């Protein structure tokens, strides 16, 4: 059952069952073996993120002193990003409501005590396409607000297997992760193979369409 947290912001609790989570975790582990997690830094200041990242698909999101951007090569290895996990690609087809495929799958690895401040996903040319989030590992407190940074915010707990669609009127809302919970359904079995992620950590995948589809 889906829940509309706000217009265009749709929560799908338990979208991935235990078997699907295990399969996706194995696919993510294969991505990370080929495209090792890296620590992005903030533009201009060079301050490191608390979250480690990698990507899959034709394009990957990176951040360094030069700014935020998408690029086709891993910033440290110089190799192309691996193909997108099949489970994530299937979830996009089922939930996005968008005709064109995703081009980037950003993989965020949260250790206990890490967070991500309020931000907008606005580095994509095609803002008509939603952002699709998939959660693995420890639960997290997701905070979301409005189009302005100072708008009131609300929070919802995201559990492993949950999917979240950020699109339509909510496409440019401010959102972030305030807390990683150490209780609940932590990494186990196939999920525990994710390189560099503690058993009480969280893995989040966000799928994005970056470029505008060509007009036929």
Domains of the chain: 3-208 (2.60.120.590)
- Nearest Cα residue to 144 out of 2, 10, 1: 10
The pLDDT tens digits of the residues spanning 204-214 come to 999 999 998 76
Looking at residue 198, what is its pLDDT?
Answer: 66
- Nearest Cα residue to 22 out of 185, 132, 200, 196: 185
Q: Give the rounded percent of residues in the chain with a pLDDT score beyond 90.
A: 81
Question: Which one is predicted more confidently, 26 or 60?
Answer: 60
> Per-residue pLDDT for 135 more than 50?
yes
The pLDDT tens digits of the residues spanning 168-201 come to 999 999 999 999 987 544 454 445 556 666 667 8
**The whole model's pTM is what?**
0.92
**Cβ contacts of residue 76 below 8 Å, gap of 6+?**
36, 38
> Per-residue pLDDT for 143 more than 90?
yes
* Token pair recorded at residue 143: 């905070």
Q: Between the CA atoms of 147, 150, 156 and 161, what dihedral angle is there, to the nearest 10 degrees? A: 50
């Amino acid at each position: 059952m889906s829940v509309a947290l706000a217009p265009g912001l749709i929560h799908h609790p338990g979208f991935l069952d235990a078997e699907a989570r295990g399969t996706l975790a194995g696919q993510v582990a294969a991505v990370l073996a080929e495209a090792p997690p890296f620590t992005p830094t903030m533009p201009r200041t060079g301050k490191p993120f608390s979250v480690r990242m990698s990507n899959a698909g034709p394009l990957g999101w990176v951040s360094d002193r030069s700014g935020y951007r998408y690029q086709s090569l891993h910033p440290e290895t110089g190799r192309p990003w691996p193909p997108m996990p099949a489970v994530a690609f299937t979830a996009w087809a089922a939930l996005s409501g968008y005709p064109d495929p995703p081009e980037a799958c950003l993989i965020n690895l949260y250790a206990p005590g890490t967070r991500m401040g309020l931000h907008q996903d606005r580095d994509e040319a095609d803002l008509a396409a939603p952002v699709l989030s998939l959660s693995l590992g420890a639960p997290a407190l997701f905070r979301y607000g409005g189009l302005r940074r100072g708008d009131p915010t609300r929070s919802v707990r995201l559990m492993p297997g949950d999917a979240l669609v950020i699109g339509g009127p909510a496409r440019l809302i401010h959102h972030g992760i305030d807390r990683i919970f150490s209780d609940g359904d932590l990494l186990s079995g196939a999920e525990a193979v994710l390189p560099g992620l503690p058993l009480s950590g969280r893995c989040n995948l966000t799928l994005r369409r970056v470029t505008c589809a060509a007009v036929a």
